[in-house]
Amino acid sequence: MLFPNTDIIDFQNKINESQTITLISHFNPDGDTIGAVSALFHYLKLKNKTLKVLIPNEYPSFLEFVMKDVPHIIGSKQTDDAKLALSETDLIICLDFNSVKRVGDFLQEFLITSTKSKVLIDHHLEPEVENFNLIFSNIQVSSTCELLYEVLLLMENGNSFLNPNISESLYLGICTDTGSFSFSCNHRRTYEVVADLVDNGVDVEYVHQIVFNTYSENRLRLLGFCLSERLKVFPKHRAAFVYLSKNDLRRFNYQIGDCEGVVNFCLSMQGIEFGALVTERADRVRLSFRSKFDFDVNLFARKYWNGGGHKKASGGYSFDKLELVIEQLTTQIETF
């Protein structure tokens, strides 16, 4: 992992000169952003820093095992505390997002207008260089957690910085952002990093069970409903999508994280190369896109759905009604 030594020294100086540091995840947190926040919290705790952790909204319950010892603010519920965290701090570190809008509408303005130094550690395309003072970005790594491992290793001059809490948190991000090592993990270095994490305390079987095998009954029934009643397949166009209305979500007592991984079932069908999940929420319709082979869902999401992300995993949104979104997506699929 090659970053200018001046950037590493700059980051070290920013940390050394700061007593209070605020760590921020992205909105709708996943395993990578939560893992990165937790890992960096435990690392900086060893440096005797005062830490504030800001999570824009609630995260899935299956990620609680790495957050149980991490005091944090949920921005959507504790807006005043979130604003204070961004103002009464010496340094802000943003993890796993490339744009300030990814912290959510209600925190975006506070993050942009904050005069505190901002560091970005992220693996998404096209980071907003104008909104950060220092950026560590690499789109080739499996996850932000793998990238964070490399940055911390450089800061420690190659010396081990790992303990069980840091290792488990970093492994969580790598594991979830690769779909338990089924995509975005074709580089030898990813497995070398994982080997080091295992050597330093990660119980791989335990993490896998917590993350992938702790469905509630409602979540499992929702999955069955998605595949039996809400799956639309376009064999000629090698595409499929699942859609869920607000009533569908209420019927199955939807909890944050219950739709995690649903979009991947589209790609599990033979011959399908593009998949989407469309969910109607209180304020907008959200879309998640996945692809195989050469179809770039990042460009697709940017062009049509106010979003972006990775070439094979992206997201977007619309303020139109669900029925119109389904009609538009169907037309786009049939056009392609």
pLDDT of residue 231: 98
pLDDT of residue 183: 85
What's the mean per-residue pLDDT of the chain?
95
**Residue 84: strand pairing partners:** none
pLDDT band (50, 70, 90) for residue 294: confident
pLDDT digits (tens, 9 = 90+) for 49-77: 999 999 999 999 999 999 999 999 999 99
Q: Which residues contact 9 (CB under 8 A, 6 or more apart)?
A: none
How far is 119 from 10, CA to CA, in rounded Å? 10
Strand order in the sheet with 285-291: 231-234, 239-244, 274-280, 285-291, 313-318, 308-309
Measured CA distances, 148 to 48, 122, 180, 333 (Å): 19, 8, 19, 37
pLDDT of residue 83: 92
Print burial letters for 11-22: b (CB count within 10 Å at least 16), e (below 16): beebbeebeebb
pTM of the model: 0.91
- Phi and psi based region of residue 176 (left: phi greater than 0; alpha: psi -120 to 50; beta: remaining): alpha
CATH architecture of residue range(s) 5-211: Alpha-Beta Complex (3.90)
pLDDT digits (tens, 9 = 90+) for 150-172: 999 999 999 999 999 999 999 99
pLDDT digits (tens, 9 = 90+) for 173-228: 999 999 899 888 899 999 999 999 999 999 999 999 999 998 899 999 999 999 99
Mean predicted confidence (pLDDT) in 137-155: 97
Alpha helices (H) in the chain, listed in sequence order = 5-16, 31-45, 79-87, 105-113, 144-155, 164-177, 188-199, 204-212, 217-229, 246-251, 264-267, 297-304, 322-335
pLDDT of residue 106: 85
pLDDT of residue 293: 84
Q: How would you classify the pairing of strands 91-95 and 20-24?
A: parallel
Asked if residue 247 has pLDDT above 70, the reply is yes
Query: What is the percent of the chain with per-residue pLDDT over 90, rounded to a whole number?
Result: 91
Mean predicted confidence (pLDDT) in 258-274: 95
Look up the CATH number of domain 217-335.
3.10.310.30
Q: Per residue, what are the HEC states of 150-167? A: HHHHHHCCCCCCCCHHHH
Mean predicted confidence (pLDDT) in 120-148: 96
pLDDT band (50, 70, 90) for residue 289: very high
Nearest 5°: CA angle at 302, between 300 and 308?
95
- Residue whose C-alpha is closest to residue 177's, from 213, 145, 212: 145
Print burial letters for 81-90: b (CB count within 10 Å at least 16), e (below 16): ebbebbeebb
Asked if residue 2 has pLDDT above 80, the reply is no
Mean predicted confidence (pLDDT) in 6-17: 97
Asked if residue 131 has pLDDT above 80, the reply is yes
Asked if residue 235 has pLDDT above 90, the reply is yes
pLDDT band (50, 70, 90) for residue 1: low
Helix (H, G, I), strand (E, B) or coil at 44: helix
Query: What is the percent of the chain with per-residue pLDDT over 70, rounded to a whole number?
Result: 100
Sketch the domain layout of the chain as residue ranges. 5-211, 217-335
Asked if residue 136 has pLDDT above 80, the reply is yes
Contact yes or no for 322/245 (Cβ under 8 A): yes
